[in-house]
Amino acid sequence: MGQLTDKTALVTGASTGIGLATAERFIAEGARVYLTGRRTQVLDAAAQNLGDQAIAIQNDVSDLDDLDRLFDRIAADGDRLDILFANAGGGEANQPLDTLTPEAFDHTFGINLRGTAFTVQKALPLLNDGGSIVLTGSSSAHRGTAGFGVYSATKAAIRQFGRVWAAELAPRGLRVNTLVPGPTDTPGLRGLAESPERAGVLLDEMASSTPLRRAADPAEIANAVLFLASDQSSFITGSELFVDGGEVQVYP
């Protein structure tokens, strides 16, 4: 306990799932955490459950004006950031090439790629030298899954952003790493199912792609984010940490 005492973190996409579990883990380790999400009611409820060390700010990372308001608010609070977990993202499961629309393409790239890039860019003036940036990638970037072309492409690009940014930000001692979760039991993943009744079936199907034959709990992914955010990973940058139950490494 106490690995993040006196640290301040920003977790985007923190209303539910991996982002929320990570915010909870950071707070348990002593951090003050800003949480963002698009759904105000869900976000506020999450922050209330986390206690006084959680500050909720409604935010859409694909909206650059919204991002400016986010960082203006953090600055107005007199805070600087030691940790940025750029986790906000999304995408639809069924976007095959023959039915892909420009609107769907722009939506997924806007959240996953544009949103991540400008979240990190706009955070830089507030990030303390020696801090940690963690990006959320995906095992889908390493697999050719039908219907996931656009989503996979955005996550593959995030991996390359992480490498380049690690080089660009090294003079400031800022570390940049990409976390790659496998199937994880989150509302977002369950929402890919055709119906709530099919969510468990979808989760089981995705879990079968891992040697461990199960999906991760969001808390397990949060433990890995904590490692990358803390001094425990002080000599790690530009890396890709797979927390996927062996999905990519054993069953490529």
Which residues are the active-site residues? 151
The whole-angstrom separation of Cα 178 and Cα 159 is 6
The single residue listed with the structure tokens 């090294």 is 170
Burial class of residue 160 in the structure, from the number of CB atoms within 10 Å of its CB (0-12 exposed, 13-18 middle, 19+ buried): exposed
SS3 113: helix
Please compute, for residue 106, the number of CA atoms within 13 A of its CA located in the half-sphere on the CB side.
Answer: 4
Joined together, the tokens standing for residue 139 give: 């095992």
Helix (H) / strand (E) element for 154: namely helix 149-169
User: Strand 54-58 to strand 127-136: parallel, antiparallel, or no bridges (unpaired)?
Assistant: unpaired
Joined together, the tokens standing for residue 190 give: 């369950």
Burial class of residue 210 in the structure, from the number of CB atoms within 10 Å of its CB (0-12 exposed, 13-18 middle, 19+ buried): buried
